Amino acid sequence: MISNYFNGNLEEAIKVQLESIELIKALFCEVNPIPVKAALNIMGYDYGIPRLPLVEMSSANKDMLEKAMKQYGLI
Report domain extents, the chain: 2-71
Counting beta carbons within 10 angstroms of the beta carbon of residue 56, is it exposed (0 to 12), middle (13 to 18) or buried (19 or more)?
middle
Question: Nearest CA to 70 among 43, 32, 38, 37?
Answer: 43
Residue 29: the pLDDT is 96
What whole-number distance in Å separates Cα of residue 46 and Cα of residue 74?
A: 16
Residue 34: the pLDDT is 96
- pTM value? 0.81
Residue 12: the pLDDT is 96
Could you report the per-residue pLDDT of 21-70, keeping only the tens digit for each?
Answer: 999 999 999 999 999 999 999 999 999 999 999 999 999 999 999 999 99
pLDDT confidence bin for 9, thresholds 50/70/90: very high
